Amino acid sequence: ATLTRNRSIEFEHDQVIHAILKDKGMWSGRDRLTLKDWRTREVNMSVTPLISGGEERGYIAVFRDVLRDVTVTRQQELRIEHRLRVESALVEASQKLVSDKLIDFEQLLGLMGEAVGAESVYFVEIPADKHLLQEVPFKEASSTLPRVWKRDSPAKEEDIFIDLGPGVDASVQRLVCKWNGKKLSKTMASGEQTALAVPVLSPQGRLHGYLGVEYGGRPTEWQEADSRVLSVLGDLLSTYFERRIADEALRKSDERYRTFVDTTSEAIWRLELRRPFSTSAETAEQVNAVAAYSVFAECNTVMATLLGMKSPERVVGLNMSEAIPRLEVALVEKFVASGYRLLNYEYVASCQGDGNRYFVINAVGTIEDDHLVRIWGSCVEVTDRVRLEQQMVETLEEQQQRIGRDLHDGVGQLLTGVRMLCQNLCEKLRDSEEHHAQAKKISNFAEQASKRVREIYRGLTPTQL
């Protein structure tokens, strides 16, 4: 007990060895000793009982160190076994982290703890909004509780912390401490390192948390290997968190897009080309390809209603020529000729029994490797607006015609009468040069006013009338 930490064979309590000692008076075999400095030795051990008065009073144990090359070989074998366990655990951990399922962190930490033979493994997560490295310690309230795996007993919150030295508040020691660019370690008063923690960092400097391991008592060379394992696992966790953040951002973006698509008054749709065609092909060939190979991959309720369908699900999968059998070739030609970009294009559709329907269409094509692969578009029906505008124009024309008739039949006739009376007055006043000139001037004014009324009348009356 003074020279070693433990032996692999406790012969004092081994019934098989006791039977051999009683039968032969001696036992020998191979044992493995762990010394105080944690080095291991393979030894040959022989045990002889001390008998006095017919009773065993004790034992004489002789340990003979096996040749050095045997010990070194065994240590190398152990290191290889340790490495194989660690690599196997890393492979299993990477498979879990690349899956789409949420990770059971306690299970993941236990996997690594069993592989490296640690006393405990833990992970302290920093909330996503604390994404930049700070020059001051994080407050404890800004972190989540650590996820801990312990080998022998259930973990407690107070089990895991980093010793920053005497006089430091324990609440500050919980792995949410000032980052100084180095690995965080926990040491005993003797200077022996017993724990190691590494930051889980993204390539962009986002700090996701800290990953740590409690060694207990371990050979130094194994601790160095475990630190590399922590770094690899930290990189895997960083990739996992970055993907989760990206997936969440994509989910929110898709949610906003879906909300907009479902609530907008415009019809929105997406066509996928089952056979993408070259943008350098002849226009007629491209027009035929759009009509033949365009399939509805997405649309909202407004678009489904325009197509006479009850729901978007009934539109998805339909060929464009099936969903819009009366689509005019001129519209597709205009789309191709515009470089696959239609902006506020006014389109008139002829409908049986309902007259014309009017639409404003926007469409843009996606080009990949000089091939048209999909078409995004939106349209809004403006039939009611166009018909209202037509009614307004007709009403205005009617009002103009009425004003024109009033001018022509009313004011025009009065001016004609005034001009005729002035002409008669001119004849009567021919002997008086002064009065004759004034009457003539009035007659000319009346004639000019009548002419102006006729011009206004012609401007207010449509040409065909």
pLDDT tens digit string along 19-29?
888 888 888 88
Q: Over range 414-423, report the average pLDDT.
A: 80
Q: How confident is the model at residue 367 (pLDDT cuts 50, 70, 90)?
A: very high
In one-letter notation, the amino acid at residue 271 is: L
Q: Over range 396-413, report the average pLDDT.
A: 76
* Mean per-residue pLDDT of the chain: 77
pLDDT at 366: 93
pLDDT at 222: 65
Is 129 within 8 Å of 88 (Cβ atoms)? no
pLDDT tens digit string along 163-196?
444 443 444 344 333 333 334 555 544 555 567 7
Q: What percent of the chain has pLDDT over 90?
A: 9
Q: How confident is the model at residue 72 (pLDDT cuts 50, 70, 90)?
A: low
Q: What percent of the chain has pLDDT over 70?
A: 79
What is the token pair recorded at 24? 């032969």
pLDDT tens digit string along 111-155?
888 877 777 787 877 665 544 334 344 444 444 556 777 777 665
Whole-prediction pTM value? 0.53
CB atoms within 10 A of CB 198: 22
Give CA separation, 155 vs 111, 130, 159, 307, 393, in Å: 15, 26, 7, 62, 82
pLDDT tens digit string along 304-321?
988 888 899 999 999 988
